[in-house]
Amino acid sequence: MDGLAAEEQTLRAFVDRARRDRLASVVRTKKRYRELEGVLSHGHPWDERYVTALAADEQNPRAVEARLRALGAPESCHVLGGADGIDGADLPLREALEKIVGSSMGALVICIPGRLAYHEGEERHDRNLLSR
């Protein structure tokens, strides 16, 4: 599966019903991509049924990796958002988490498209596992 398809599938699976179609379609139109970056950084568009907020002691790369692995995360992932140079990249899971966890830059680490991801918002409390 290509990166754009993984992004779209994951957003369709986890974004709340009211915003799902709009945000999922944004990945295909770079013109409105800034809207999506803003939502990842400042918003919480997730369907609450699939969100697990991480406790303060779990907000480090190793703890997040352990939680994701326990849910079936593979060795590599796809990144949506984050720091320059990693948006749209396919990376080893550990490397992606080391770059993203604690960065306070809006990002989505897609482990299994539509089934398992990690969301990092700008606020310390906005770090979530997304699973279905």
- Interval 10-24: pLDDT, tens: 988 998 888 777 777
pTM over 0.85, yes/no: yes
The whole domain housing 122 covers: 3-131
- Interval 85-113: pLDDT, tens: 888 899 999 999 999 998 878 899 999 99
| Angle value at C-alpha 127, between 118 and 74, nearest 5 degrees | 20
Is 128 within 8 Å of 108 (Cβ atoms)?
Answer: no
Calculated CA dihedral for residues 32, 33, 36, 40, nearest 10 degrees: -150
SS3 29: coil
How many domains is the chain built from?
1
Angular region, 114: left φ>0, alpha ψ -120 to 50, beta rest:
left
